[in-house]
Chain A
Amino acid sequence: RKEVEQDPGPFNVPEGATVAFNCTYSNSASQSFFWYRQDCRKEPKLLMSVYSSGNEDGRFTAQLNRASQYISLLIRDSKLSDSATYLCVVNPYNAGNMLTFGGGTRLMVKP
C-alpha cells in the first residue's frame, strides 16, 4: 500500500464550483499533515496545515480523520488561478523531519 495515496484526477470544474479532494495515508501514527500546491514545473508551496479539529483558510477547508487515516481538502468558489496540482503531504511518525508526498491531484478550473 502506498504511504500517501491520492486520486490523480484531473478534476475539471467550472469557475465557481466547489471541489473536494481526498487523501489516505498508511502510517497510523503520522503526526503532521499538510496540503501543498504545485504549479506545472514549479516548487511545492504550502497551502495549509491540517489540524485534528479541521481548519479553514478563506475558500479552503481541510479536514483530518485519524480513525480512517483520511485527509480532505475542500475548495469553494473555484477560481481559474486554483488550477494546479494539490499534494497531500504527511510527516510520518518516527520519520524525523522527512515529508512524504502523495502523487498529487490535478485540478483544472475552466471559465
Chain B
Amino acid sequence: EPEVTQTPSHQVTQMGQEVILRCVPISNHLYFYWYRQILGQKVEFLVSFYNNEISEKSEIFDDQFSVERPDGSNFTLKIRSTKLEDSAMYFCASSEGAAQSSTQYFGPGTRLTVL
C-alpha cells in the first residue's frame, strides 16, 4: 500500500538554525499538507499546497515557515530560524483530492527538537 514517507525521523537543532523537513507524498496525490503536534497537545494545521502554490495556511505558519515542491516527488517544510517553541512532531499528509471528498494520509512524522 502506498505511504507518505518523511525524513529525518528525528532532527535536533540549535535555536536560530534553519531546518528543512522532507516528505514524499503518495505518488498520484495532488494535495499536500503540513501539520504539527506539540507533545501532549492536539494536531494543528499549518499549510496546504495544491497546484504548486499555498492554498491555505494557519496563523502558526508565519514568515519563518515556507514550503516547496522542488521536484516531482518531494515536498519540504523549511523553518528559517527555529525557536524553542517550534519543538514538535511535524506530520506531512497528502490526498488525492480536496478534503471534502478525499482522505488525508499522514506520514510517520519528523520529531523536531530545538535546543
* Number of residues of chain A lying within 8 A (CB) of chain B: 22
Residue pair B43, A44 in contact (C-beta under 8 Å): yes
Q: A-facing mask of B24-53, CB < 8 A → 1, else 0?
A: 000000010101000001111100101000
Q: Least Cβ distance of A103 to chain B in Å?
A: 4
The A-contacting residues of B in range 78-98, CB under 8 angstroms, are 89, 91, 95, 98
Quick one: closest A residue to B97, CB to CB? A97
Interface of B is mostly: strand
**Across-interface contacts of B55 in A (CB, < 8 A):** 96-97
Q: A-facing mask of B63-75, CB < 8 A → 1, else 0?
A: 0000000000000
* Number of residues of chain B lying within 8 A (CB) of chain A: 26
How far is B104's CA from A99's CA once the two chains are assembled, in angstroms? 9
Interface of A is mostly: loop
Is B58 part of the binding interface, using a Cβ–Cβ cutoff of 8 Å? yes
Q: Least Cβ distance of B34 to chain A in Å?
A: 11
Give residues in B with beta carbon < 8 Å to A: 31, 33, 35, 41-45, 48, 50, 55-56, 58, 89, 91, 95, 98-100, 103-109
